[in-house]
Structures are given as C-alpha cells and as structure tokens.
Structure 1
Amino acid sequence: MPRAEEFEELRPLLFSIAYRILGSVSDAEDAVQETWLRFGATRTRPVSTKAFLAAVVTRIAIDVLRSARVRREEYVGPWLPEPLLSDPYQDPARSAELADSLSMAALLLLERLSPLERAVFVLREVFGFGFPEVASAVGRSEPACRQLAVRARRHMEAGRPRFEADRREREELAARFFDALREGDVDGLRDLLAADVQVVGDGGGKAPQLAARIVGADRVARVLTMFFGLSARIDVSVEPREVNGRPGAIFRDRDHRVINAWALDVLDGRIRTVRSVINPDKLGHLGPVADAWALRREATGERQEP
C-alpha cells in the first residue's frame, strides 16, 4: 500500500490520540500534519506503521502540551477543551473507553496529569496499545510506563463520579433541559438541575460570557433563562448536538455563524455541569464565527463606544 494511503487510513486514530493529549482540535490537526511530514521523510518502512505513527504523533503532542501548559497558566478565566462534535476514530472493541475519554470532564481530569502520564494513559487505557509500544512512544522503560499508567489511572478514577447516566437518560434529560430554557420555565429548569450545578464559561477574555462560574440550581436556572430570553431577541438558534460525546448544543446567529458551544454533564438524573465555550479561537473548526460582542450589544441595546 502506498504511504499516503497508509497514512490516511490511520489519520483518524492519530487525530484522536493527539486531541485527547492536547484538548485542542487545531493543535491536534497540526500534530497530525507534522507526523505526516516526518513519515514522508523516513527512508525505511517501519515494522508496524500504526505503532510508528502513533509514537510520532504522541511525541509531538507531548512537546506541544508542555509549551501549551505555560500559556494556559496565563489564560484569562477557566480553560476548557476545544469542543469536538464527533470522534473520527471508531473502534467497536473500545467504544466505551473512547466515548468516556472524549468528554470534557475526562479531558479536564487529564489536565491534572503530567504530559507523560497523560500520554501513557491515552495510549494504554484508551487505545489499548501494549506497554512495549507505549514505552517506545514516550521514550521510557516498560516498568516506568507501568508506574506512570498506575498513577494516571488512580488520578482519573479518583476524579470520576461514581454513578454516570446512560446515553438514553442523558439525551432525554438534555431535551427537557433545552425545552425548559426555550419556554422560559425557571421552575421546570430548576427541577432538572443538581443542587450544586455549575455553569463554567470559557471566553478567554476574547468574548462576553455570563460569568466565569455560576453555582447553585436557583441561580443557574434564573441566569440561563434570562440568557435565552436575550438570545431570542436577536434570532439566535440552538442546534442540539452531541459535544465531546455528551449532550450539548451549538448556538448560531441569524446568519448561521457559531456563537457558542455547550456541553452538559449528567449525574444521578440531574444536570451537574454546563460547560460553555465562547472563545472565538476555539470555535473556528465548527464554521464561521459570529461577533459575540456585537450580538451582546444588539441583545441588550448597548451602544458601541466611539
């Protein structure tokens, strides 16, 4: 098989590895492109093209992550992963691990790990690579990788909720949630929220947002219904979508440009977290991006300062 065909066949896997390590669609795409360039520059055929390319994209992603962490320390407000609407890599044998590791909650847990722990966890626990392949990818011995995997698994399991909703329950609850918001039903919305529900917003200082963090069922219900009321004034449409493997929505202006992306976490029959990404730098891969500042002025009647 020609190299280009081999690479294209493995591209979905490489992107999925890089995205989970980096939490960024654009950085993951760049890592995959760099992997292709390095693959093209090799003179000999690897014994396993899959293992070789997975190792290359992992090393690139680790390097990018180390520099990205410095930038994230200076990030304005909460940092959230770039929203992903669908995972290009599908493997029925590992569908559960793939779906769980794609959620924003899981990606934020991965943020707590060191770059090496994160890479080892993604390769071993999510994609099922053997320890010899993992060790080759991260440049550590197999015993060291086993220790990294144990530490990473311990951190991930400690941060995960004990009881998660199944897919159908999540979808049904999300549909009721968005119906209540459209109808402005504060009481109905409150009944769907966990007592300690949070809305976490990522604007990166580049777009208006409700607040960096809103906590509590009563406050969240009132703030979100107010937000939907303002949005209706300017013909904002809500497009229910699966975002990072969980129920969510894409908000668009009247010209169908992307304003915002929401992802919902469901636990014990209630919505526990609403994560809102409105930073325009994180939405470009979803389509043309709206001017959120101009939309806020239009919705609230604010005048633009000269």
Structure 2
Amino acid sequence: MTVTGTETFEGLRPLLFSIAYRILGSVGEAEDAVQETWLRYELSETVPASPKAFLSAVVTRISIDVLRSARVRREEYVGPWFPEPLLADPYEDPERSAELADSLSVAALLLLERLSPLERAVFVLREVFGFGFPEVASAVGRSEAACRQLAVRARRHMDDGRPRFEADRKEREELAERFFAAFREGDVHGLQELLAADVQMVGDGGGKAPQWGKGVSGAGNVARLLTALVGPFTRIGGVVEPHEVNGQPGAIFRDRDGKVINTWAFEILDGRIRTIRTVLNPDKLGHVGPVADAWAVVRAASLARRSGN
C-alpha cells in the first residue's frame, strides 16, 4: 500500500468510523470495524475507482456482520442497554449537519436498534450520509429495488418513533447550564422547574455498576434523587464535567482522581429535560478515560452522607 493509499484511508477514517458507530452503537466495535477495513484495503491488489465507495462498503459489511452477533448478546444484557457514549463525532459535513446530529442522539440510536441489521445499514447510508442507491446496494449486497424497499421500511419505523428535540442548540445549552447550576447547589425547586413532569432517569450498568437513577420518573422524584446525590458526591471530591454526549447536552462524572464514573445524556423537549440517560457500565466507558470503581465511590458517598462530612 502506497503512502498515497494510506493518506486516502486516513482522510476517510472519520466517515468510516461514523458509519460504523451508527450501525453498531459501540465505539470499540466501530474502531475495530474501521481497523479491519484498513487491513482489507491494504491487502487489496486493485486500486478502487472510488476509495470512498469501496471503503464505505467494506466497513458497512463488516458492521452488519458484527451487529448480527451483537444483537444476540444484547438480548441477554442485564438491565437497559444504551449505546456507548460518544463525546464528539469525528466526521463533519455541513450539507448534512442536521441528519448527522439527529442520528447521533441516544434516542435515535435506540430507535435504530429496532431495525434489522440490513435496514439499519441502509438507513444510515442513505438517510444519514446521503449515499445513492447504487452505492447502498453495492455496500449491503442487495439490488437497488430491494434497498429502496428496505429504506422505506426503515424510514417508516424511524418516523413513527422519531424523537423530537429542542431545535435551538443555544437554548439547549443554556438549559443545561441552568440545570447544572441548580444541581451543584442542591436546589430541588430549581431542578424541578427544568424537568418535564414525566421526566425519566434511566441507567445502563449492565449488572456491573450501581444503578444510580434506574427507573426513577417524575420531576419531583428525580429532583429529590439528584439533590440527595450531589452533596455526598461533592464532599468526596467528585467532579461533574458538563460535556456534549451524543450530540446532546450531558456530563461526565469523575472521582477525585479524575477517573470516569459515568456519563449523562439529556433529551430536551419544549424547554424541559425529558430524559436523563446515564451509562455506568465500566465496559462502555474505557474510551472516555480511565474508569473509576463506581462501587467504591458509592460506598464513600454513603459514608460521607451518614457522617455529614
């Protein structure tokens, strides 16, 4: 493989990762799919006429195969399953910025989980990245007519459950700022005013971490839970780092040593936070940074709450 070939691949790496992540919902699996794509590209004896079409097709086929086996594991998953948090999408396309942003949210990725692997791949390539049907057909190994049918089915399923978000990015960010200010102050009433009446706080611990906020619903209940957590968490040196997660306002929680405890991602609608999804499963946080022992953090916070120190 020539230097030019390497440079071509590296230039397309952000796109390949973004395709794979949306199909798989896993940072680690997407990175592995991209690496496998590179190996196949490097071993190829012919130079493709369109490296973008060729590499996109390869990473799509690999991702479909991985997803088929992953779906079996997800059926046995302990508790709610959420995609691995993505702090920043490496691929940017100003002409498709809205599609890229909408497809990255946790809510949208959870909707994609309802599709078959082929439907999901076709939807991602066609609706999110704007590939033509000839390219989509080549990528998934189906006829153009079959891909059009798959796209129609996938679009119908997505439209039926498509989440609606606060359209104005600045308004979302300002709401998140007010939320975290009230959270740090332990202001129950301030928090409650920013939460939808039917807000839900749901956690993905995979059976490997304490389920903070699992299944808590209602503005009053969630606000009281949050204020009960923040005091002890702060006293043991915990840090709340507001950060965009999957294209939406959220946060990274760290222990006193800077290790990652969990992430939050908000779903905002009509000027209120409708859902807080938190990922605590340590297997899903390694790409964010060194992972903390969440159980030890909970024990320390409980001790701090009892002692009042």
Please report how far the alpha carbon of residue 166 of structure 1 lies from its aligned counterpart in structure 2 after TM superposition.
Answer: 1.6
Distance 1:291 1:163, change over 3 A: closer
Contact 2:107 / 2:163 at 8 angstroms: preserved in 1? Answer: no
Give the structure 2 partner of residue 164 of structure 1. 166
Separation (CA, whole Å) in 2 of partners of 1:129 and 1:182: 45
Equivalence map 1:50-69=2 (5 Å): 50-69=52-71
Contact 1:77 / 1:212 at 8 angstroms: preserved in 2? Answer: no
TM-score (norm 2): 0.96
Separation (CA, whole Å) in 1 of partners of 2:200 and 2:11: 40
Contact 2:99 / 2:127 at 8 angstroms: preserved in 1? Answer: yes
Separation (CA, whole Å) in 2 of partners of 1:126 and 1:211: 32
Contact 2:206 / 2:281 at 8 angstroms: preserved in 1? Answer: yes
Q: Secondary structure at the match of 2:28?
A: helix
User: Is 2:135 the partner of 1:133?
Assistant: yes
Distance 1:162 1:239, change over 3 A: closer
Q: Secondary structure at the match of 1:243?
A: coil
Equivalence map 1:173-212=2 (5 Å): 173-212=175-214
Please report how far the alpha carbon of residue 161 of structure 1 lies from its aligned counterpart in structure 2 after TM superposition.
Answer: 3.5
Give the structure 1 partner of residue 117 of structure 2. 115
Distance 1:14 1:162, change over 3 A: closer
Give the structure 1 partner of residue 41 of structure 2. 39
My pick for the range that moved more, 266-275 or 203-212, is 203-212
Q: Secondary structure at the match of 1:285?
A: coil
Separation (CA, whole Å) in 2 of partners of 1:14 and 1:200: 30
User: Is 2:99 the partner of 1:97?
Assistant: yes
Separation (CA, whole Å) in 1 of partners of 2:190 and 2:13: 44
Counterpart residue type for residue 38 of structure 1: R
Unaligned runs of 5+ in 2: 305-309
Separation (CA, whole Å) in 1 of partners of 2:97 and 2:49: 27
Give the structure 2 partner of residue 242 of structure 1. 244
Separation (CA, whole Å) in 2 of partners of 1:285 and 1:210: 21
Q: Percent identity?
A: 77
Superimposed CA distance per residue, residues 68-127 of structure 1 (whole angstroms, 9 cap, x where no aligned partner): 000001101000010011000011111111111111111011111110000000000010
Give the structure 2 partner of residue 266 of structure 1. 268
Q: How many residues align?
A: 302
Give structure 1 regions of 4+ aligned residues with deviation exceeding 4 angstroms.
none
Distance 1:238 1:162, change over 3 A: closer
Superimposed CA distance per residue, residues 223-270 of structure 1 (whole angstroms, 9 cap, x where no aligned partner): 111111221121110111111100000011111111110000100111
Give the counterpart of 2:29 among 27, 30, 42: 27
